[in-house]
Amino acid sequence: MSSHNNTEEFRTKEGFLWTPSGSTEGLLTRSVVASTTRTELSYDVIVIGAGFAGLVAARDLSKTSKAKVLLIEARDRIGGRTWTSHEFGEDIEMGGTWVHWSQPHTFSELVRYGLDKKLKPTIASINPAQNTHTFDSKVGEISAEFSAKLEKVAEEFCTIDGYTSRELLPYPHDPFREPCQWRKYDKMSAQERLDQMSVPEKEKDVFKAYIGLYGLCSTKEMSFYEVLRWYAICGHSLAGVLECTSAYKLGSGGMTSFAQAILGEFKGDRLFSTEVSEIKQGGTTAQIITASGQQISASVIISTIPLNCLSDIKFSPPLSALRTEAARHGHQNYGEKFHFKLGDVDPLWFKTVSMDHSSPYLIGFADHNGSHEATKGTFVVLGAKSGSVTDIKDADRLVDDFKRNIRPGADVQAYLIHDWAADPYSKGAWSCWAPLAMTTYLPELQKPHGRILFASADWANGWRGFIDGALESGKRAASHAQVILDAHITGRL
């Protein structure tokens, strides 16, 4: 099936661009979508959120069952925490970037739309011209021999009390399926596991930086399970993690072209720039109430509201005590993703910095050198640690930190960011969970609440925090909603 591809560019209200001559609020993108001309007072299903979980749920229900579906979104665009800016005429991924054939839901959808033919490599992740790490204020080369040592560190980290990673988590897409020995260790943080290991400090420091990238948060706040999950789902190797999570992305329109393709098959109504403030239910119907007071009813509601935002919604009747606690607890990733544009044409380098270093940036790499003559230079992707950037508009500090810690002497011509931590509709980046959160909250977050179903990458079974997890969760919710519609359930809910 061919891809739906809208090439019109509009300026979303989101994102920030700095250049030495001035700054801009709101970035150029093809992800901005208009509402349909009219909406009704009642639907079979209302899907809240036009990220990948919501898009695929809305598409499946409207296309396969002919259900009357409303897709409602607080933002002015599709994609949720994943969208592509087209500043400088380049595909710049503001959130969400990499895909891989090991991600089953993602790759099947890419094949569906012919987008599997649009994959392109991230050279700096696969074969960088230079690979360095700052440890104890000194910059050292990461050689092939050192990478082999890191592989052994990863294997040791994910082996506990004689259990290998395969014995701890044999079914990473079905984590509670027995045997699931990992449950014994869910109370352990990644830092506690690191502290148990007797390996050379430099190897431990580089490995700590690598796993820090799984959530851009302190390893004291990250559960051991999160690291084990990434390791297991990527084939039980550190090389597999790098391959599956940072080697390939979409060209020719980026992740927004993927979101557009799914939206192109949706046969329902759309309501954008409309915030939902309350969800209530009773008898055979449920209702959403928007921030402006508009009320729309449905037989089923699918909420894809992120975990860190669930507490902002009033539910009547209220959510269970455990789900309410999970929403208040949230996930730990408040990191930031920056894109820097440099005037120099650099070789495609890769750089990490010790988690214990004062640098806000944990990682930086040269993504590409511009796709046309007017943008020749180097486009750099950076990951900043949770809480390390207090003001995304403080260009003097951000550029100075970049030159001091990542690329000395660089000619910084611009930087772009979507401040996910401050965004009221995300309140954080991709999901990363604390110790005990998995065993305590995951089953509860996946349960329905009467006629309200919940779908989000934040509580997916497998690729949690990834587009694949969003698709997994959205498809599951759509199937459940269809069962409810088919059964015409009334009092049994």
Bridge partners, residue 248, by sequence = 121
Q: Count the helix, strand and coil residues of the chain and give each as a percent rounded to the nearest 5.
A: 35, 25, 45
Asked whether residue 460 is marked as a ligand-binding residue, the answer is no
For CA atoms 175, 180, 186, 191, the dihedral sign is negative
Q: Say how far apart CA 305 and CA 452 lie, in whole Å.
A: 12
Query: What is residue 311's DSSP assignment?
Result: G
Question: Is residue 120 within 8 Å of residue 251, measured between CB atoms?
Answer: yes
In degrees and rounded to multiples of 5, residue 388 shows phi and psi of -85, -20
Residue 382 DSSP label: E
φ and ψ at 98, to 5 degrees? -95, 145
259 annotated as a binding-site residue:
no
Number of H helices, E strands in the chain: 14, 23
276 annotated ligand-binding residue: yes
Helix (H) or strand (E) holding 139: strand 138-141
237: Cβ contacts below 8 Å, ≥ 6 apart = 151, 154, 155, 231
DSSP state of 343: S
CA dist., res. 389 & res. 397, Å (int): 9
Q: Which residue has the tokens 């015409």?
A: 488
Phi then psi dihedrals of residue 59, to 5 deg: -60, -50
Rounded Cα distance between 224 and 163, Å, is 14
Cα 189 from Cα 230, distance rounded (Å): 15
What is the distance of C-alpha 353 from the center of its chain? 22
Instruction: Tell me the three state secondary structure of residue 294.
Output: coil
Question: What is the distance between the alpha carbons of residues 187 and 462, in angstroms, rounded to a whole number?
Answer: 20
- Alpha carbon separation from 122 to 202, 243, 350 (Å, rounded): 26, 10, 11
Q: Which secondary-structure segment (H or E) carries 120?
A: strand 119-121
Residues annotated within the binding site are: 73-74, 276
Residues annotated within the binding site for FAD are: 73-74, 276
